[in-house]
Each structure stands twice: as C-alpha cells, then as structure tokens.
C-alpha cells in the first residue's frame, strides 16, 4: 500500500493550472523522483503536499488511512512529513548546533532557545552534524556557512526530525562533489531505514542512480511514470524535458 497518494489534486494561479487533477502514488520506503521542464508543477506539488499552499480540489491520503482535503503547515510534522528547500531556510542568527536543537524539542523556537537541553538532545545533534560533516562548525552562526554547508545543515535538520516522508527539493544544486557524495549517502541510508523520499532534481545521472520510481510532469499534468530507465527513454519525455 502506498504511504502517500493524491487523488485529482488541483491548484491554479490566476487561471493557470499549476497542478491539474493529479492522481499519484508514492511507495513506502522508496525514492520517487519527480522531473519536468520549468513550469511543469514540480515545486507546486511539493508545496501542496507539505502544507505551504492550500490545494483547490482533490484529496491527499496518508498511509491509506487518513484522507485530507487540506494540509495546514503546522500539521505536516505531525503527519510525519518534512522537506528541504531550493532556497535554503535556516535560523540565520543562531549557531549551527541550535538550528538542530530547535527541531529536537516540542517547544516553539523561543522556548527551545532557553531550554536546558538534555544529554539525549545533545547526543542526537552531535550525531546528525557529524553525519553531514558540520560538527566542527557547530558554534558558527548559520549565516556564516557556505552555500553547500547550509544545504548540509538543512539535511541534518531533516535527520534530526526523523520523519516518515521527506521531500528533497533540488538538494544537489550547487554542491561540490564531496558534499554531493554525502547527500547521496544520506539518502541511501534513509532508504535502508524504510523512509519514503520524494526527490525533485535536474541531474539525470543522480535520478538514474537513486530513483526507484520516476514521475514526469508537464504543464501540471502527469506525462509518464515508471522505472527510470524506461521512462527516460520515452519519446514524449525526451521531447518535453530534454528538448529534443
């Protein structure tokens, strides 16, 4: 049974159909990649499924049990859903370590800042920061990190949250090769742990390497889906996405 499904999901902006009656399934514990040309609806789909924008019609089904006609942003975490962003979003004026500790507490941001964190929280923060190679940067302000390090910190926050469903929005863009290898390794480990991952990415080599299933969107509609190697060989996909 899919862990996440959409049924006739629909969103328009000023008459433009950004997502047009999409019915999709995402298998539990697998990496599903979503590709398509600019304006195909990829980012809108992520925003809809993580509660950042409301959908106009349709349903989202979680684990075959919970049917939703809306996902409030504050409910996404409770549903076991989290994400990264193309434009990395961190607590800029806080140290790297505190960016992790904030998501390890059930309190709000300000409460977390003044909480005396216990041994378990600190140990978990150390674990995830070491995993992405940022432990030595733990006392630096997030705003002082390089672009690649900021992306790694955002991924460390995902690890700390321990969600069931993770949306990765272009996590490899702008990364040096060594950082890229870290993110690939993290995604492979998450898969081994049974986590469900939805990846939006333009690097076809990485799509082929990581994906169990591939979805291609075009103008908000489903163009093709299936095994990556087979989907990427389809003429309609080549014409729409690769411009040939």
Which CATH number characterizes residue 206's domain? 3.40.50.300
- State the pLDDT confidence band at 38, using cuts at 50, 70 and 90: confident
pLDDT at 151 over 80: yes
Question: Does residue 108 belong to any structural domain of this protein?
Answer: no
Residue partners of 85: CB distance under 8 A and separation at least 6: 154, 169
27-31, 76-80, 154-158: least confident range:
76-80
Question: Does residue 165 belong to any structural domain of this protein?
Answer: no
Percentage of the chain with pLDDT > 70?
93
pLDDT for 78 equals 85
Alpha-carbon gap, residue 72 to 156, rounded angstroms: 24
Residues facing residue 196 across a β-bridge: 165
pLDDT for 76 equals 83
pLDDT at 84 over 80: yes
pLDDT for 106 equals 58
Average pLDDT over the chain, rounded to whole? 90
pLDDT for 220 equals 93
In tens, the pLDDT along 96-106 reads: 999 999 988 75
Structure tokens at 15: 């008459």
Counted domains in the chain:
1
Higher pLDDT, 241 or 199: 199
pLDDT for 75 equals 78
Alpha-carbon gap, residue 200 to 70, rounded angstroms: 22
Alpha-carbon gap, residue 133 to 129, rounded angstroms: 6
Question: Does residue 131 belong to any structural domain of this protein?
Answer: no
Alpha-carbon gap, residue 169 to 174, rounded angstroms: 13
For the residues 63-78, what does the mean pLDDT come to? 82
H or E, element range at 103: helix 96-103
Q: Output the CA angle 224-81-220, nearest 5 degrees.
A: 30
Question: Does residue 169 belong to any structural domain of this protein?
Answer: no
- State the pLDDT confidence band at 144, using cuts at 50, 70 and 90: very high
Percentage of the chain with pLDDT > 90?
76
pLDDT for 110 equals 46
- State the pLDDT confidence band at 242, using cuts at 50, 70 and 90: low
Q: Are strands 66-68 and 57-62 parallel, antiparallel or unpaired?
A: antiparallel
Question: Does residue 170 belong to any structural domain of this protein?
Answer: no
pLDDT for 20 equals 94
For the residues 26-48, what does the mean pLDDT come to? 94
Domain encompassing residue 244: 1-75+196-244
Q: Provide the 10 A C-beta neighbour count for residue 175.
A: 18
Structure tokens at 144: 């002082």
Structure tokens at 158: 């995902």
Question: Does residue 38 belong to any structural domain of this protein?
Answer: yes
- State the pLDDT confidence band at 112, using cuts at 50, 70 and 90: very low
pLDDT at 239 over 70: yes
pLDDT at 141 over 50: yes
pLDDT for 39 equals 86
- Please name the residue that has the structure tokens 């070491």: 130
What backbone torsions phi and psi does residue 93 show, to the nearest 5 degrees? -90, 5
Question: Does residue 155 belong to any structural domain of this protein?
Answer: no
Question: Does residue 58 belong to any structural domain of this protein?
Answer: yes
Q: Which DSSP symbol is given to 65?
A: T
Q: How far apart are the first and last CA of the chain?
A: 36
| Distance set, CA 114 to CA 105, 107, 111, 119, 203 (Å) | 11, 10, 6, 15, 41
């Amino acid at each position: 049974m899919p862990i996440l499904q959409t049924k006739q999901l629909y969103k328009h902006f000023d008459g433009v159909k950004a997502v047009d009656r999409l019915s999709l399934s995402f298998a539990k514990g697998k990496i599903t990649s979503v590709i398509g040309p600019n304006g195909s609806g990829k980012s809108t789909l992520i925003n809809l499924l993580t509660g950042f924008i409301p959908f106009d019609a349709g349903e989202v089904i979680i684990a075959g049990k919970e049917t939703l006609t809306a996902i409030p942003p504050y409910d996404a975490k409770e549903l076991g859903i989290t994400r990264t962003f193309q434009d990395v979003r961190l607590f800029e004026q806080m140290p790297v370590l505190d960016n992790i500790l904030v998501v390890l507490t059930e309190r709000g941001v300000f409460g977390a800042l003044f909480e005396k964190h216990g041994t378990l929280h600190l140990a978990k923060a150390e674990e995830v920061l070491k995993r992405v190679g940022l432990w030595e940067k733990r006392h630096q302000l997030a705003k002082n990190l390089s672009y690649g390090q900021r992306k790694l910190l955002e991924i460390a926050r995902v690890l700390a949250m321990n969600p069931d469903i993770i949306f990765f929005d272009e996590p490899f863009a702008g990364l040096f090769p060594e950082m890229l290898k870290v993110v690939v390794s993290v995604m492979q480990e998450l898969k081994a742990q049974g986590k469900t991952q939805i990846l939006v990415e333009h690097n076809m080599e990485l799509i082929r390497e990581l994906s169990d299933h591939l979805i291609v969107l075009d103008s908000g509609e489903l163009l093709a889906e299936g095994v990556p190697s087979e989907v990427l060989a389809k003429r309609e996909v080549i014409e729409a996405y690769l411009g040939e």
